Chains A and B, each alone.
Chain A
Amino acid sequence: MLLVLLINILIVGAGYGLIAIAFAVMSSVSPFFNLTLGSIIAFGAYGTYGLTEYAHLPMAVAIVISIAFCACAAALLERFVYTPLRTRGASSMVLLVASLGLYTIFEASIHLAFGPQYQILGGALGQNMNLGIFSMPKVQFITIVADFIVFGLVNLLLFHTFFGKMVRALNDSAKLANITGLNNNKIILIVSMLSGLILGLSGVLTGFDTGLEPTMGFNLLFKGMIGAIIGGSGSLYGPFLGAFFLAAAENVGVMLWASEWRDLVAFVIFIIFLIFRPQGIFQRKEK
């Protein structure tokens, strides 16, 4: 039973983890609650669905195109919406409201284009695979592997490359980074693309695992954000492990009490962290 619980935590946590990493990376250079990140998740899932169902493309091609589209969509939103707003000195609240408006437009557009009906991405990824002592659908195994790979690659990029140094410099102080000659907007644009790629991947995997619905992006983004805040968004270990912490809290809640306690447990922990440790579990020390 404990093994089963651990596997469930791993599956759910990995799903949240991808979003938490993307959210943390994006908010490190553009610190506001960007709701359009939720739309990007839905773009990944519905893009794959549309390309296979209507354009009859092979699944692998559809996935690649959808994820690439998500990266482009994130970059375009940054270039034509958030950068101009930021340049005009818009506050985080203005950016949040703008993202809320865009999120609503995107959700309604998906609704109109694909209908409100719940769908599941079919194919080989949905089939079960035997891992000796237990079996799980391939997509869940891929989600766990993808979470670890994305964590490793993004960690490498942020902490072992010159670009990562620029991102961290921007995170520390946007003004100072600008004075030293960094092109802040260009850095944010590249980070947007990176987060779009991760969110697109997350959307595709979610589409295979728990299906597609126009409202899917917001709920997932919200859980990813909670994971990132619990873990602490100063380092990449924070959101990565915070997502597993959130998944553990939810699943242990369900196991010990009734299912309706699931969200309550998650939000109680979230509030406790906000009050007593707002910097999260793994936040690095301030110099």
Chain B
Amino acid sequence: MLKKLILSLCFILALSACKEENKTQAQAKPVIKIGANLHLTGQLAHTGAGAKNALQMAFEKWQKKDTKYRYELIFEDDMMKTQQAAVNTQKLINIDGVRAVLSLFGIVDRVIDDIANQNKVISVSCSYGKSEVPEYGVNTGAQNEEIYGAVVRQLKKENVKTVVLEGSQSAVSFAILDYFAAHLPQDGIKVLANEKHNLDVRDFRTSIQKTEVLKPDYYLIFGVEPMNSIFTKQYREITGKNNLASLGNFPEIADSLWPNLEGLWSASLIGGTSEFSQQYETRFHDRVHGCSANLYDALNMLMMAFENAPVKEGKDIPENIDVVQYMRHIGTYNGAFGMIEMGINGIGHPSVDIVKLQNGKWVKIGE
């Protein structure tokens, strides 16, 4: 009996020693910290929460792999405020010592880009319509040209001649709507009005009735949620029509509105591949939000770059600039969002499709 007990004890001790050794090995790996500055509270908290979930998914996937380095992911809430984003980024860089900062859209990503660049820290954003980034920057959000191309093809298919543009008072809306306003006439589509609503407005009735007088063939909307949901609901209530399309975020519209919106279409800036959406929805019991898939891909590309970028002699981890260069030279990346063509200037070009609400589901429709 005593012999058995001693043997068991020895076995347990040996096991724990092995475990300790593994732990020590893991701890001995050089540490790479990555920060994520997201809108976790405030009006766009749903986007931040979605991005955080997606980043965690990607991070856990990497943790299961045998990596060269030990990674740590640190989240900060920028409340979609530039001042808060600046404070967070300084903290992430100077106190936490992160090597890269991930961020969402809005003006905050520009602020983060600047601070990160000054400190030679990598800045990876998901910002729509952002056509340039600094030396240490990478962007994975869709570009105006791609969104425009996909939407115009669909408008032409539907023989649309006149449109009204409606959006929110935000940097992203301005960038995209003004791009459309400038380019649609060149494609033979007349822009009758370009209305932008303050972020806290929840009543669009008067604006809808004002523009309805102009008899547009279609409304193109690109607002910060819940503008899209409320605008669509009120448009339906007033006109009973469905001739409106979103330039990016209809799949994010409130579920309870979907039954009334069959046939509505949108540029697909949200969902990502059906495989990613399914994984996400099963795990978080929520639908995918804007930039979730983009940031999932961004973190994957970033960690892939850290793992594969060359390490200079005498150093134990790659230089940030080499990691950025690796990311910029990835070429075509097939990820959660679909295909992203990474440009050597740091600008990613994700493919933009048109999705339509058919039988209660958003499905991609062919060109």
Q: Which residues of A contact B (CB under 8 A)?
A: 1, 4-5, 8, 11-12, 108, 111, 115-122, 128, 136-137, 210-211, 213-215, 219, 250-251, 254-255, 258-260, 262-263
Q: Are B45 and A262 neighbours in the complex by a CB distance under 8 Å? A: no
Q: Are B41 and A111 neighbours in the complex by a CB distance under 8 Å? A: yes
Specify which chain B residues have a CB less than 8 angstroms from the CB of A120 in the assembled complex. 229, 233, 254, 256-257
B118 on interface, CB distance cutoff 8 Å: no
A115-B286, A211-B233, A262-B197 are known contacts; what are 5 more A-B pairs with Cβ within 8 Å?
A: A11-B205, A136-B237, A259-B196, A259-B201, A260-B198
Q: Are B213 and A1 neighbours in the complex by a CB distance under 8 Å? A: yes
Q: Residues 54-90 of chain B: 1 if any A CB is under 8 Å from the residue's CB, otherwise 0? A: 0000000000000000000000000000000000000
The 3 closest A-B pairs by CB, nearest first: A116-B45, A118-B226, A210-B202
Specify which chain B residues have a CB less than 8 angstroms from the CB of A115 in the assembled complex. 46, 49, 286
Can you list 18 residue pairs at the A/B interface with Cβ under 8 Å? A1-B213, A4-B209, A5-B206, A5-B209, A12-B205, A111-B41, A116-B49, A119-B254, A120-B254, A120-B256, A211-B229, A211-B254, A255-B206, A258-B195, A259-B198, A260-B169, A262-B197, A263-B201
Q: Are A251 and B206 neighbours in the complex by a CB distance under 8 Å? A: yes
B230 on interface, CB distance cutoff 8 Å: yes
Task: Give CA–CA (A39, B213) in the complex, Å.
Answer: 38
CB B194 to nearest CB in A, in angstroms, measures: 9
Q: Are A262 and B226 neighbours in the complex by a CB distance under 8 Å? A: no
Q: Which of B209-259 contact A (CB under 8 A)?
A: 209-210, 213, 225-226, 229-230, 233, 237, 254, 256-257
Q: Which of B180-203 contact A (CB under 8 A)?
A: 195-198, 200-203
Specify which chain B residues have a CB less than 8 angstroms from the CB of A108 in the assembled complex. 41
Contact of B207 (CB < 8 Å), options: A119, A210, A254 = A254
Task: Give CA–CA (A215, B198) in the complex, Å.
Answer: 15
Task: Give CA–CA (A263, B45) in the complex, Å.
Answer: 23
Task: Give CA–CA (A250, B237) in the complex, Å.
Answer: 21
Q: Are B42 and A215 neighbours in the complex by a CB distance under 8 Å? A: yes
CB B165 to nearest CB in A, in angstroms, measures: 11
Are A1 and B198 CB-contacts (below 8 A) given A118-B226, A122-B256, A211-B254? no
Specify which chain A residues have a CB less than 8 angstroms from the CB of B43 in the assembled complex. 213, 215
Q: Are A214 and B45 neighbours in the complex by a CB distance under 8 Å? A: yes
Contact of B210 (CB < 8 Å), options: A119, A137, A255 = A255
Task: Give CA–CA (A259, B227) in the complex, Å.
Answer: 13
Q: Are B196 and A260 neighbours in the complex by a CB distance under 8 Å? A: yes
Q: Which residue of A lies closest to B46 (CB)?
A: A116
CB B254 to nearest CB in A, in angstroms, measures: 5
Specify which chain A residues have a CB less than 8 angstroms from the CB of B46 in the assembled complex. 115-118
Q: Which residue of B lies closest to A214 (CB)?
A: B45
Task: Give CA–CA (A211, B225) in the complex, Å.
Answer: 11
Specify which chain A residues have a CB less than 8 angstroms from the CB of B49 in the assembled complex. 115-116
Specify which chain B residues have a CB less than 8 angstroms from the CB of A260 in the assembled complex. 169, 195-198
Q: Are B226 and A263 neighbours in the complex by a CB distance under 8 Å? A: no
Task: Give CA–CA (A11, B233) in the complex, Å.
Answer: 15
CB B160 to nearest CB in A, in angstroms, measures: 22
Specify which chain B residues have a CB less than 8 angstroms from the CB of A12 in the assembled complex. 203, 205
Are A8 and B201 CB-contacts (below 8 A) given A119-B256, A211-B254? no
Task: Give CA–CA (A108, B42) in the complex, Å.
Answer: 10
Contact of B206 (CB < 8 Å), options: A8, A119, A136 = A8
Task: Give CA–CA (A258, B177) in the complex, Å.
Answer: 15
Q: Are B41 and A118 neighbours in the complex by a CB distance under 8 Å? A: no
Task: Give CA–CA (A196, B199) in the complex, Å.
Answer: 27
Q: Which residue of A lies closest to B229 (CB)?
A: A118
Q: Which residue of A lies closest to B236 (CB)?
A: A128
Are A262 and B198 CB-contacts (below 8 A) given A115-B286, A116-B49, A137-B237? yes
Q: Which residue of A lies closest to B39 (CB)?
A: A116
Specify which chain A residues have a CB less than 8 angstroms from the CB of B225 in the assembled complex. 118
Specify which chain B residues have a CB less than 8 angstroms from the CB of A11 in the assembled complex. 203, 205
Q: Which of B305-349 contact A (CB under 8 A)?
A: none
Q: Are A263 and B229 neighbours in the complex by a CB distance under 8 Å? A: no
CB B57 to nearest CB in A, in angstroms, measures: 18
Contact of A259 (CB < 8 Å), options: B48, B195, B254 = B195
Q: Which residue of B lies closest to A223 (CB)?
A: B200
Scoring B45, B196, B202, B254 by chain A CB atoms within 10 A of each residue's CB, the highest score goes to B202
Scoring A5, A117, A122 by chain B CB atoms within 10 A of each residue's CB, the highest score goes to A117
Q: Which residue of A lies closest to B285 (CB)?
A: A115
Q: Are A1 and B237 neighbours in the complex by a CB distance under 8 Å? A: no
Task: Give CA–CA (A196, B48) in the complex, Å.
Answer: 32
Task: Give CA–CA (A11, B66) in the complex, Å.
Answer: 61
Specify which chain A residues have a CB less than 8 angstroms from the CB of B286 in the assembled complex. 115, 117
Task: Give CA–CA (A250, B49) in the complex, Å.
Answer: 33
Q: Are B254 and A118 neighbours in the complex by a CB distance under 8 Å? A: yes
Contact of A262 (CB < 8 Å), options: B42, B201, B213, B254 = B201
